[in-house]
């Protein structure tokens, strides 16, 4: 008898701004808010710019590149859908635009991880209609 596959959990948001972030990820591009007044990038999505207070923004595409700011190797599955993937790397990536994002680091040698290591965006399909932004070590170092 084969084990039952447990679907990965999808984000459960309570705010339309968060919903919009996830919706925009589904085309395979990572977009963050960018203030139309002072041009500061914002993440997590919010209604006002933390730098100048403006409510005006656009959803702008990022380059999808950055550096490894911090990480931990997870040895315990906190959801049954991830049990077959342990150990995995939970990471904090600082994108070249200056914002930091909690994410998963895929396709990596855990013994070779270094602070500042260059990483690039990759989308992981976790269901038939949902893509999750993740990162992997950059091929162009």
User: What is the band of 140 on the pLDDT scale with cuts at 50, 70, 90?
Assistant: confident
Q: Which of 61, 85, 101 is the last residue of a domain?
A: 61
User: What tens digit of pLDDT does each residue of 43-65 get?
Assistant: 999 999 999 999 999 999 999 99
Residues 21, 86, single domain; the answer is: no
Which CATH number characterizes residue 140's domain? 2.40.50.840
- pLDDT score of 4: 57
Sheet containing 57-61: give its strands across.
41-42, 31-35, 57-61
- pLDDT score of 85: 92
Total Cβ atoms within 10 A of residue 38:
13
User: What is the band of 139 on the pLDDT scale with cuts at 50, 70, 90?
Assistant: confident
SS3 at position 107: coil
Residues 125, 135, single domain; the answer is: yes
Domain that holds residue 97: 63-141
Taking alpha carbons only, the member of 14, 41, 38, 57 closest to residue 100 is 41
Residue 54 lies in a domain: yes
Tally of domains in the chain: 2
- Mean pLDDT, rounded, for 8-16: 92
- pLDDT score of 61: 97
- pLDDT score of 141: 56
Nearest-angstrom CA–CA distance, 57 and 41: 9
Nearest-angstrom CA–CA distance, 54 and 95: 23
User: What tens digit of pLDDT does each residue of 74-95 get?
Assistant: 999 889 999 999 999 999 999 9
Residue 7 lies in a domain: no
The token duo for 116 is: 């500042």
- pLDDT score of 55: 98
Residues 140, 73, single domain; the answer is: yes
The token duo for 51 is: 């730098």
User: What is the band of 3 on the pLDDT scale with cuts at 50, 70, 90?
Assistant: low
Q: How far is CA 135 from CA 23, 47, 87, in A?
A: 19, 27, 16
- Mean pLDDT, rounded, for 85-113: 96
Residues 85, 125, single domain; the answer is: yes
């Amino acid at each position: 008898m084969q084990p039952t596959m447990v679907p990965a959990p999808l984000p459960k948001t309570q705010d339309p701004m968060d919903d919009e972030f996830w919706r925009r990820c589904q085309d395979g591009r990572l977009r963050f808010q960018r203030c139309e007044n002072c041009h500061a990038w914002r993440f997590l999505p919010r209604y006002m710019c933390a730098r100048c207070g403006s409510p005006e923004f656009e959803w702008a595409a990022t380059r999808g590149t950055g550096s490894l700011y911090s990480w931990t190797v997870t040895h315990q599955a906190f959801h049954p859908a991830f049990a077959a993937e342990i150990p995995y790397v939970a990471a904090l990536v600082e994108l070249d635009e200056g914002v930091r994002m909690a994410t998963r680091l895929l396709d990596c040698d855990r013994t070779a991880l270094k602070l500042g290591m260059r990483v690039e965006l990759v989308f992981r399909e976790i269901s038939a209609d949902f893509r999750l932004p993740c990162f992997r070590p950059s091929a162009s170092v």
